[in-house]
Structure formats: C-alpha cells, structure tokens
Structure 1
Amino acid sequence: MTDNAFNFQTLHPDTILDALFAQGIRVDSGLTPLNSYENRVYQFQDEDRRRYVVKFYRPQRWTTQQIAEEHQFAAELAENEIPIAAPLRFNNDTLLCHDGFTFAVFPSMGGRQFEVDNLDQLEWVGRYLGRIHQIGQRCLFTQRPTIGPDEYLHQPRAVFEQSALIPGPLKSAFLQATDALIAAVMPLWPGDAAMLRLHGDCHPGNILWRDGPLFVDLDDARNGPAVQDLWMLLSGDRNEQRIQLETILEAYEEFQRFDPREITLIEPLRAMRLVYYLAWIIRRWDDPAFPGNFPWLREEDFWRRQTATFNEQVKVLNEPPLQLMPMY
C-alpha cells in the first residue's frame, strides 16, 4: 500500500463512483463529504432517490478481521432493534473492496443534533446503552483491541518523544507532564475490571436524534469497561455531571447492571483520551488533511497549554472521584 493510498490521495471521485457502480449502485447526486478525519465518508442519493452513506476505511489502520468484527457487532445490535447504522450486504458481504480500498455502504440516518444537556434525551440514551451493553457482554472481540494503558498511554508517550512537531525548548516540560499524568493514572487502572464489547467512542457527535437516539460510527468499537460509553456524555461542572450520570444510570440499569466502582475510572479514561487523541493527530500528520485542520499543532502556545492541561488533569486525578447519591 502506497503512502498516497494511506492518505487517500488516490481516492478520487471517479474511484468512489466506480466502486459503488460495481455493487449495482448508481449515484444520482451527492457525494457530500461528512465529518471524518480517520476515514473518508460521503453521503449520496441513488437514481431511485434512496440516501446512503459510503465509508472508505483508512488503509493499514484495521485488518479485515477487525472490520468484520465491527460489522458483526453492528448487525447484532440492529437485529436486536437497537437504532444503529449497520452496513448493508452485497452478495452477503458487508466489507467491500475496490482499487486497493476497503469500504462499506450504510443507510443514511438523518436526524438532528443530540442535546447533551437535555435530561429526557439523556435518559433515552442511557436506556439504549444498557441494551447495547446487554448484548455487548455476550462475548468479547477477539480481533479488536481492549482499552488499556499500553495503547492509550505508553505508545502515545513514545510518539511524543519521537515527534518533531513539539518545539524543542518545550519538549522536556511536556514529556514531564505526560509522565506525571501516566504515573497518576496507573494506580487507578484496575487489573480486574469487567470488559465487554463497546461502542468505544460514544460522544454526542456520534448520536443523532429523531424521535429517539440513533447511534452511528462503530469505527472505534473495542473491549473495555462499561463506563467508557458513558463518561463522554457528561458535561458542565461536577454537580451537573452528577445529575447527568444519575439520569443515565437510572435508565441504563433497566436493562444492564452497572458496577458503581467504575465511576472511579471516569477521570483516568479522560486522561487516557487526552493523551491518545493528541498522539493520533501526530501519527496522521503526513495526511494532507491534518495540517490544514489542526494548524495550531505548530504553535508553541498550544504545547504550553497542553502541558498545563496535562498537569491540571493530574490534580483532578488526585481528587476524590465523582460521588453519586447513596442509592448508587
């Protein structure tokens, strides 16, 4: 696979149209790009005015076996009446290939933005997450990874050390802050946490609303603790987050028991995401889409702020975790 393919420079509109035509789909209008940095995702309408989304997977990120597990999980959820965007089958295959790219076609699921501060909507989401996890616990992924410190902390730390994007005069302080953050997380990461198949990236942007929640984008599905699919839905100050989490859990436990000890993982998981996300951008810097969309990565002030953010998160990790009402 060439670097140009890895960075989608060889994914031309004609390539997309040919790939879809080979599956019997004739694009009538669209090929509107949707927000995705990791993959290339387009919405379109066919000649029968049916709306679809096509996703071209970034080469070399996931193996075909790992993508197949994502698709199988999506199909399993859809079969159990979970409102999820599951890939369509063509000749009994969901993962398709064309000109060196793998791709999948999904039904277009229109909806408005999920309102994270709307407790009624949050209750709906909590109920469906309980159902998703009820299904997710039936078995574990065998090909996709499990959330843990190596992938989310130690490997990113090595990326930071080797990166030329971090200004030399600021690099030592930034690496010290990274090390302090890792040191603060490690004692809080349990070795015996119950793992299950997760959405993995359940932030508000991956939930649409149309008479109820619609879940999209299982690209980051993996094994992990249940709270991973809950904590990114929390916002505001500590009291607001407590109310939101209680709302989610009350609905969630209609279908799935939640271990309250996992609440102590919220801030460690937040710290891990901070580190992992930044390393992800650095890893993708050779993709022309990234320098244009993340220009602040070249600025010294950004690295000063990032160092401060890591140091502040260390303080948060040393504070008592979020406390719920006694019923939990």
Structure 2
Amino acid sequence: MNDKAFTFQTLHPDTIIDALFDQGIWVDSGLTPLNSYENRVYQFQDEDRRRMVVKFYRPERWSADQILEEHLFAQELLNDEVPVAAPIAFNNKTLLTHQGFYFAVFPSLGGRQFESDNLDQMELVGRYLGRLHQTGRKSRFVARPEIGVKEYLIEPRAVFEHSALVPAALKERFLKATDDLIDAVMAQWHGRFNTLRLHGDCHAGNILWRDGPLFVDLDDARTGPAVQDLWMLLNGDRAEQRMQMEMIVEAYEEFSNFNLDELALIEPLRAMRLVYYLAWIIRRWDDPAFPQNFPWLTGEDFWLRQISIFIEQVKVLQEPPLQLTPMY
C-alpha cells in the first residue's frame, strides 16, 4: 500500500459509494463523516431508509487476521447478549475489500452520551464489563497484540527521538522526562495478573447509552489485564476515583472475579497511554487530518506542557496505588 493510500488520499466519496454498491447497498443519502482519526467512518441511509455506518480501516495498521479477530469478538459478545456494535455479514463475510482498502458495514445504533459522573450509569457499565470480560476469557486472540511496555513505551520513545516535531531546543529535556517516566512505570509494572481479550479503549466516548450501555469501536481490542477496561472510566480526585472503582468492581464481580493486584497497574497504564497517544499523533502526521486537528503540536508551549505532564505522572507513580476498602 502506498503512502497516499495510507493517508486516505485515494478514498473519495465515489470510491465509498462504489464499494457499498458492490455489496448490494444503494446509498440514498449523503455520506456523513463520524468522529474518527484512525479510520474513516461514515453514516448513510440506504434505499430502504435503513441507517448504516461504513468503516474503512487505515491501511497497514491491522492485518486481515487481526481485523477478523475484532469482528469475531464482537459477534461473540452479541451472542452472549453484551451490547456492542458488530459488523454486518455480506455473503458470510464481515471484512470487505475495495481498491486495496479493508472496510466493514455496521448498523447505525444511536444513543445518548454516557454520563461519566452518573453513578447509576457507571454501576451498570461495571456490570456489563463483567459480562464482556466473561466472554473475553472464553478464548484468546492469536493475531492481535498484547498491551505491554514495548509497544506503549519503548517504541514511542524511539518515535520521539527521531521526530522533527519535537523542538530541537526542548528535545533533550523532553527525552529525559520520557525516560524518567518509563523508568517509573517499569518499577511499578508487575506480572501478577492474567490476561484476557479486552475492549482495549473503554473510555466514556466509546460508550453510548440506550437504557443501558452500548459499547462501540472495538478497533483497539487487545489482550491485557482486566483493569485496562476499567480505569479510563474514573474521573475526579482520588477519593472520587476510589468510590467509583469500588462501585465498578462490586458490579463487575457479579459476573467476573477482579484481581485487586491490578489496581497497582492503573497509574502505569495511564502513563503508557500518555506516551503512546502522543507517539500515535506523530506517526500519523503525514495524514492531512492530523495537522488540521492537532495544530498545537508544533508549538513549544505544547512540548513544555508535555514535559510537565510527564514529570507530574512520575510523582503520581511514586505514590501508593489506589486501594479499595477491605470488603472487596
């Protein structure tokens, strides 16, 4: 796949409509782009007034086997009555191709925004995550990666070192802050957990509310510790986060056991996400959508803030981890 395809420059509206037509879908509306930087996702209506979503996967990110594992996991979850957005099969195939692009079609499932400060909603999300993980433990991903320090810290550090986006005058300070953060994570990262298939990116933006949670976007599904799907739901100060986690774990354990040792991974995982996310933006900079949506990345003030954020996260990592009350 060439660089132009990698940055979606060859993915035009006519290309999308032709791809859908090849599957017997007549687009009877415009293509409305949905919020997605990694892939290209559009909502539309067909001739029967059915609302659908088509997702074109970023070339060279996932292999066909890796995408199919995402699709199979989504279908398993649906079969187990876990509310997720799963792709539609055409001639028994969910992974489709057109002009070198992988794509899939999903039903358009509306819903309200999940209210991360609503404890009743958070409790129900915890319950359904217990069910999601119950399914996740039934088998293993073979092609999809596992969350670990190599992909989330070591490789991003190399991206920072070789990137011209990091101001030369700040690069040494920034790399020092990155190295200190990596060292702090490595000191806290432990192996006292079992891995399972995860949603992988379970934050409030990937949960819709329809008389209960609807989990969307399994694009980052990976193998890892269960707490990866829980910690991004937390918000507020430490006392609030402890109360939220106690509620989530109590609801979660109606369906799955939770290993309390994994609480010590919350801040390491947060640090890994900080580093990985920044490297992700740098890696995608040749995609015109990224300079347009992240213009602040080229300013020195941004990198000074990142240095401060990394330094502060090192301090957090040196504090005792979040703990729940003994009843759990």
TM-score tier, shorter chain, comes to over 0.9
2 CA distance for matches of 1:186 and 1:142?
26
Deviation at 1:193, TM superposition (A): 2.1
Q: Counterpart of 1:155?
A: 155
Amino acid at match of 1:157: R
- Aligned counterpart, 2:123: 123
Counterpart in the other structure of 2:56: 56
Structure-to-structure mapping, 1:1-328, within 5 angstroms: 1-328=1-328
1:237-271 Cα deviation digits (max 9, x unpaired)? 00111111111111100000000110000000000
Whichever residue aligns with residue 156 of structure 1, its letter is: P
Q: Which amino acid aligns with 2:79?
A: E
Aligned counterparts of 2:231 and 2:32: Cα–Cα separation in 1: 31
Q: Distance in 2 between matches of 1:28 and 1:327?
A: 56
Native 8 Å contact 2:192 2:262 kept in 1: no
Matched letter for residue 299 of structure 1: G
Aligned length: 328
Counterpart of 1:62 in structure 2: which amino acid? W
Alpha-carbon contact 2:83-2:214 (below 8 Å) kept: yes
Aligned-partner residue type, residue 117 of structure 2 = D
Q: Which moved more, 1:190-199 or 1:159-168?
A: 190-199
Distance 1:51 1:127 in 2: 29
SS of the residue aligned with 1:29?
A: coil
- Compute the displacement of 1:191 (Å): 2.8
After superposition, the CA RMSD in angstroms is: 0.6
Query: Letter of the aligned partner of 1:247 in structure 2?
Result: M
Residues in 2 aligned to 1:193 and 1:296: alpha-carbon distance in whole angstroms = 38
1:253 is aligned with what amino acid?
Answer: E
Give secondary structure in 1 for the equivalent of 2:44: strand
Is the 2:197–2:222 contact (alpha carbons within 8 Å) kept by the matching residues of 1? yes
Q: Distance in 1 between matches of 2:161 and 2:2?
A: 26
Unaligned residue ranges in structure 1 (runs of 5+): none
Contact kept in structure 1, 2:70 and 2:219, CA below 8 Å: yes
Cα separation, 2, equivalents of 1:282 and 1:252: 36
CA–CA distance in 2 between the matches of 1:295 and 1:158?
A: 22
**8 Å CA contact 2:193, 2:261 repeated in 1:** no
Kept in 1, the 8 Å contact 2:51–2:107? The answer is yes
The CA deviation string for residues 278-310 of structure 1, in whole angstroms up to 9 with x for no partner, is 000000000000000000100000000000000
Matched to 1:215, the amino acid is: F
Once structures 1 and 2 are overlaid, which stretch shifts more, 187-196 or 39-48?
A: 187-196
Shift of 1:227: 0.2
One-letter amino acid of the structure 2 residue matched with residue 199 of structure 1 = H
Contact 2:193/2:259 (8 A) holds in 1: no
Quick one: distance in 1 between partners of 2:30 and 2:249? 40
Inter-partner Cα distance in structure 1 for 2:54 and 2:315: 43
What is the CA-CA distance between 1:192 and the residue it aligns to? 4.3
TM superposition outliers: structure 1 runs of 4+ over 4 Å: none
SS at match of 1:324: coil
CA distance in structure 1 between the aligned counterparts of 2:187 and 2:149, rounded to whole angstroms: 11
- Tell me which amino acid in the other structure corresponds to 1:116: S
2:90 is matched by which residue type in structure 1?
F
Q: Amino acid of the residue matched to residue 101 of structure 1?
A: F
Q: Distance in 1 between matches of 2:179 and 2:193?
A: 24
